[in-house]
Structure 1
């Protein structure tokens, strides 16, 4: 009887050990997940500071197994999970693993953030829609005329505070590419030509400005989040879609300096509005 008990406990121990070893295979959470789940603001600040879903990372499901990025994001849209960065000293890769959450507020916000990122992920590596834009100065740009050029698109509107606050950074980005005729910067705005002209006289913006693009943004790009930045390569293929310009795979020299000079003090970001990041 004693021998059988010993065998049973050894068997049980081996199962627990193998299970724990599997979960910890790629590292351990860089924060206490239980504490994070008890406070929405702690979670949101952590999400903002430590998790960049638009970057390159190794996706792990809630069992600690590697999955494809699409599956990872779809699981996040359920609101049942939050992504946690793992501490891993064995290599330079970034690992995000899904952990369960039962916090209703966190579930709601995480679901919305994940839906946005999944939409962007599905846009990437697809052709940018055909277009013919006329800017506020009367110049026309088409997909055919810009073939062979790298294009930075930005969606925005005058009443969007985050859209306007990033003007200095974007102006510096344009300056960084001075003389590069194979790079174009185009902003798709919701407002009329008249309103934009008056507004930009006070707030200079170096991007090409295209007025009244609500229909194109909604029906062709199928996004309602502002600002949105879309990087299109020389073949007309969407390479990256993000809300933060600094998350694009580009030369960001001088951008951080401009950002720091603009900010008088750095405070934790406020949570997104109840409707997510929509206009």
Structure 2
């Protein structure tokens, strides 16, 4: 695959089906995943499931397409299961619960809509407000006397919110350990988060719980790590903000 860039007019991902499948190999220990495209408009993720492997029920924050490149997969959507074989494809709207089970070894292509299409969930605490709303609260700063004060989000923070969606579009509440920083002293709060994130390996994650929307912290994380972490809001107040961080390092195709 050519190195993608937002300014590119075209990007060749694969020239044929064999090349597309060769981008990611099966892993016996776990479902393998690899981001193969991320540009304005949509993203594409490759999944490889060995026979018997399952992606447990979850939901996506944006509309998705799941296409079976080869193999046999049972896909459960809203409790109803349908079998898909090579060439099968299904559309799933945002926040619709679904799960995958490999009946036979399978290679799957996951296409994600742009984060701008992200829909609010009808379930409290997940996607409860649209990303990038102008009235989103910012993390309080401290005055000279140590008192916290709020400020309006900057254009950079709003841009950060617009991209705050899990890389694979998946929200799996409770799948990762929780780091509640509400009781951590403000002077070391950000350093604590940085240390926790730095300890994560590809595909590992954590759920950060804060007393306010941590926009400046998100900006700092992005400055330090670039696109290493995908961020999904799981809860937006009023008493707590909960954000899921997932390390997006690609699995090596081996």
TM-score by length of 1: 0.29
TM (norm. structure 2) is 0.31
Give the structure with the larger strand fraction.
2
Report which of the two structures shows the higher radius of gyration computed on alpha carbons. Answer: 1
